[in-house]
Amino acid sequence: MKVNEKKAGKMLKYGSIDSFEVSSNGEIVHAATAEHFAILCTSGSGTLVSNEHISRLNEGEVYLLAPGQRFKLAADEQALKGCMVRFEVYEYGGEQQMTATHAFMEGLFWCKDPHQLALSCDRLLQLEVAGDEEHFNRQAALYGLMTSLVQAEAKPESVESTASAIARVADYMNEHLDHELKRDELSKLAGLSPGYFSWAFQQYTGKTPTAYLMDVRMKRAKELLLSGDGVKETAVRVGYEDEFYFSRRFKQKMGLSPNAFVKSRRYSIASVSDPISGSLLALGLLPKAAAFYPNHELYNRMTRLHSYELGEGQIWQENVDRLRASEPELIFCTDLLAERARKELEQIAPTVAIPWLSADWREQLRMIAEVMEHRAEAEMWLSEYDGKAEAVYRKVRRNIGGATVNIWRITDSEYRIYGKRNAGAVLYDDFRLAATHRLDDINVFESVTKEALEKYDADMLIIMVDSTQQAAREWKALQASEQWHRLTAVRHGHVYEVGTEKLFEYSAWSHERALFYFMRLFG
Paired sense of beta strands 330-334 and 415-418, if any: unpaired
| Domain 266-373 CATH superfamily | Nitrogenase molybdenum iron protein domain (3.40.50.1980)
**Rounded Cα gap, residues 109 and 151, in angstroms:** 10
Domain boundaries, the chain: 3-154, 161-263, 266-373, 389-522
Does residue 3 or residue 140 have the better pLDDT?
Answer: 140
Q: Hey, do 161-263 and 389-522 end up sharing a CATH topology, with the first three levels equal?
A: no
- Residue 221 C-beta-side C-alpha neighbours within 13 Å: 31
Residue 35: the pLDDT is 92
The residues, ordered by sequence, that sit 6+ positions from 393 with a Cβ below 8 Å of its Cβ are 430, 431, 432
CA 276 to chain centre: 25
Q: Rounded to whole angstroms, how far apart are CA atoms 361 and 269?
A: 20
Strands (E), 210-321: 269-271, 289-291, 303-305
Q: Was domain 389-522 assigned CATH 3.40.50.300?
A: no
CATH number given to 161-263: 1.10.10.60
In terms of Cα–Cα distance, which of 46, 50, 74 is closest to 59?
A: 46
Is the CB of residue 39 less than 8 Å from the CB of residue 80? no
Measured in degrees and rounded to the nearest 5, phi and psi for residue 172 equal: -60, -40
Contact between residue 328 and residue 344 where contact means Cβ atoms under 8 Å apart: no
The reported pLDDT for the residue numbered 3 is 42
Residues 326 and 289: beta-carbon distance below 8 Å: yes
pLDDT grade, residue 298 (50/70/90)? low
Q: What is the DSSP letter of 105?
A: -
Please state whether 399 falls in left (phi above 0), alpha (psi between -120 and 50) or beta: alpha
pLDDT tens digits for range 423-436:
889 999 998 899 99
Q: What is the pLDDT of residue 504?
A: 65
Sign of the alpha-carbon torsion through 24, 27, 28, 34: positive
Give CA angle at 385 (383, 391), nearest 5°.
105
Exposed/middle/buried for residue 373 (C-beta within 10 Å: 0-12, 13-18, 19+): exposed
At 353 the pLDDT is 94
Question: Does the pLDDT at position 6 exceed 50?
Answer: no
Question: Considering the entire predicted model, what is its pTM?
Answer: 0.59
Contact 9, 92 (CB under 8 A): yes
Task: State whether the Cα torsion 245-249-255-256 is positive or negative.
Answer: negative
Phi, psi for residue 16 in degrees, rounded to 5: -165, 170
The tens digit of pLDDT for each residue in 144-181 reads 888 877 766 555 444 456 777 888 888 888 888 988 88
* CATH number for the segment(s) 3-154: 2.60.120.280
Residues 6+ apart with CB under 8 A from 515: 385, 388, 389, 392, 426, 430
Sign, CA dihedral 143-148-152-156, equals negative
In sequence order, the β-bridge partners of residue 54 are 49, 160
Higher pLDDT, 110 or 334: 334
Residues 6+ apart with CB under 8 A from 5: none
Q: Is the pLDDT of residue 518 over 50?
A: yes
Least confident of 28-42, 101-115, 224-238, 344-358: 101-115
Radius of gyration in angstroms for the set of CA atoms belonging to the chain, rounded to a whole number: 29
Q: What angle do CA 398, 399, 400 make, to 5 degrees?
A: 100
How far is it, in rounded angstroms, from Cα 27 to Cα 76? 10
Asked whether residue 17 carries a pLDDT value surpassing 70, the answer given is yes
Q: How far apart are CA 423 and CA 460, in angstroms?
A: 14
**How many other C-beta atoms are found inside a 10 Å radius of the C-beta of residue 395?**
22
